[in-house]
Amino acid sequence: MKEPDEAAKATRHFSNLFEAPVLFYVACVTAIATRQVTLLTVVLAWAYVALRVAHAYIHLGANRLRQRIPVYFASWAILLALWIMIALGAALA
């Protein structure tokens, strides 16, 4: 018996929460542990969360790739910027 498409989509989306977002969780813990929490890191962290919420809304809703892909890559860019800020802060400290 084949899994319904909606259930499969939700399952794939849930498993994705254990991929890139784990790097976000580690970045947040690293920022706190190394005392790199600044206004910029907080703004980047919330921007990442907002983009992931938008991505989930698009993915679990209409799932239009033209909308979803730019949001997905923007979230990766924000995550990369967050890690760069943490690394620079630690290197300059």
For the segment 2-45, what is each residue's pLDDT rounded down to a tens digit?
Answer: 778 777 777 776 777 777 889 999 999 999 999 999 999 999 99
DSSP annotation string for 4-38: PHHHHHHHHHHHHTTSHHHHHHHHHHHHHHTT---
CB 60 within 8 A of CB 10: yes
pTM: 0.84
Element (H, E) at 43: helix 39-60
